[in-house]
Amino acid sequence: MLDIRELREHPTDMEARLKTRDPSIDLAPIFELDDARRKLIGEVEELKAEKNRGSQEVAARKKAGQSAEDLFGRLSEISTRTSKLDEALRGVERDIEDLVGRLPNVPHSSVPVGGKDDKIVLRTFGSRREPGFAVRHHLEIGEERGLLDFRRAAAIAGAKFPMYVGRGALLEMALIQFMIFHHARRGYTPIFPPFVANAESFFVSSQLPKFADDVYAIEKDGLYLNPTAESILVNLHRGEILAAEELPKKYVAYTPCFRREAGSYGEEERGLIRVHQFNKVELFKFTVPETSYAEQDALIEDAESVLQALGMHYRVALLTTEDMAQQASKTVDLEVYLPGQGRYYEVSSCSNCEAFQARRGNIRYRPSPKEKPAFVHTLNGSGLATSRLMAAILENNQAEDGTIEVPAALRPLVGFDTL
């Protein structure tokens, strides 16, 4: 969440920067409500001051043995009026919080202005595989080899829910285990968290209120299915004040992820490309502001190290203002190449959210024992999402006879070299 004081102090600049993310953003309704809020506060304070003076007068008259009956009516009116104004004030403050809560984060100065097609490729690793045969789509070969079964999954849960079978299931579990231990060795504390969270947690992570229609809700219990472990991990220190020497705090967690992914998609996004449920290993950091962008660079390297260990060709892309998640100030994507479709797909988004989530969750640190607490910066990145990574393995590691080579790093976990 943005700081209302910063919006108030720099309205023109803040609106201009936010419009690079969404041209329809208009801060005027927020400022109108903020003016109304300050007027209500002024009225309430005047009434409370008058009530205080009246109460003092009543006490003085009683002490002097004089009647104060003529004051009681006005004091009652003040109490009634104050209660109504307090209720109106709470309503205005809720409206302000709702509107500010829907605003995206302000983009970092290094983020290019533009849409989804304007991202900047920063670098690539390895080379595209150019086999002398037609590489088959991962869904076709996965179902033919008995690794994937979307038909039975659809009968159980509906379309866009995957099911891994046999060696496909073993490979999926090996990917998760490999990535958890890989990142733990790189200094991340493993977390096995709940897979559901309450509304307050989803507000802190920024799923609510703006994206309520995109998440699965368990209405009876007031809970939501986790769309990414970021939503869980950002709440680990909600309401806490951390010591500067504790930072950065680095966590890695596995969760299944659930997303409605509203809308229809083309042929190129069938199979594992866009599904309602997928597995993901998530990296998360709490840092001091001064080092957060250096920590983002390190986070990107940690996510890249998985792709390198699996022998994957990939590219690193800097997203534009309009293509980032609401909470992000700067995002860098890792994209793997799928030869069966001739295009790149994102397998990790590594974002610096600065103080946006910390302000929502009141997550602070104390720079030194005598200093006032300040908000931490939060960072997140997939390390990695398995569904598209599985698609990349099935398509990039194909032989002409349809055999699929298992990445060397996973062979000790699955016990076989090929699918």
Catalytic residue (choose from 21, 37, 259, 360): 259
Catalytic residue (choose from 17, 322, 388, 395): 388
127 touches 313 (CB < 8 A) = yes
* Residue at 144: amino acid letter: E
List the Cα angle 361/251/335 in 5-degree steps: 100
Catalytic residue (choose from 17, 37, 274, 360): 274
Residue 95 has, within 13 A of its CA and on its CB side, a CA count of 15
Using alpha carbons, select from 403, 129, 143 the residue that is nearest to residue 270.
Answer: 143
322 touches 310 (CB < 8 A) = no
DSSP secondary structure string for all residues of 146-200: TSB-HHHHHHHH-TT---B-THHHHHHHHHHHHHHHHHHHTTPEEE---SEEEHH
Where would I find the H helices in 186-290? 199-205, 230-233
Question: Would you call 360 a catalytic residue per the annotation?
Answer: no
Using alpha carbons, select from 170, 193, 333 the residue that is nearest to residue 257.
Answer: 193
Catalytic residue (choose from 143, 268, 346, 405): 346
Question: Would you call 274 a catalytic residue per the annotation?
Answer: yes
Question: Would you call 259 a catalytic residue per the annotation?
Answer: yes
Question: Would you call 346 a catalytic residue per the annotation?
Answer: yes
Instruction: Enter the tokens of residue 268.
Output: 């190129």
Distance between CA atoms of 148 and 164, rounded to whole angstroms? 5
* Residue corresponding to tokens 């008259």: 61
Contacts of 246 (CB under 8 A, 6+ apart): 365
Catalytic residue (choose from 329, 349, 382, 387): 349
Measured in Å, how far apart are the chain's first and last C-alpha atoms? 47
Using alpha carbons, select from 230, 227, 222 the residue that is nearest to residue 191.
Answer: 230
List the Cα angle 46/50/52 in 5-degree steps: 115
Contacts of 76 (CB under 8 A, 6+ apart): none
Active site positions, annotated: 259, 274, 346, 349, 388
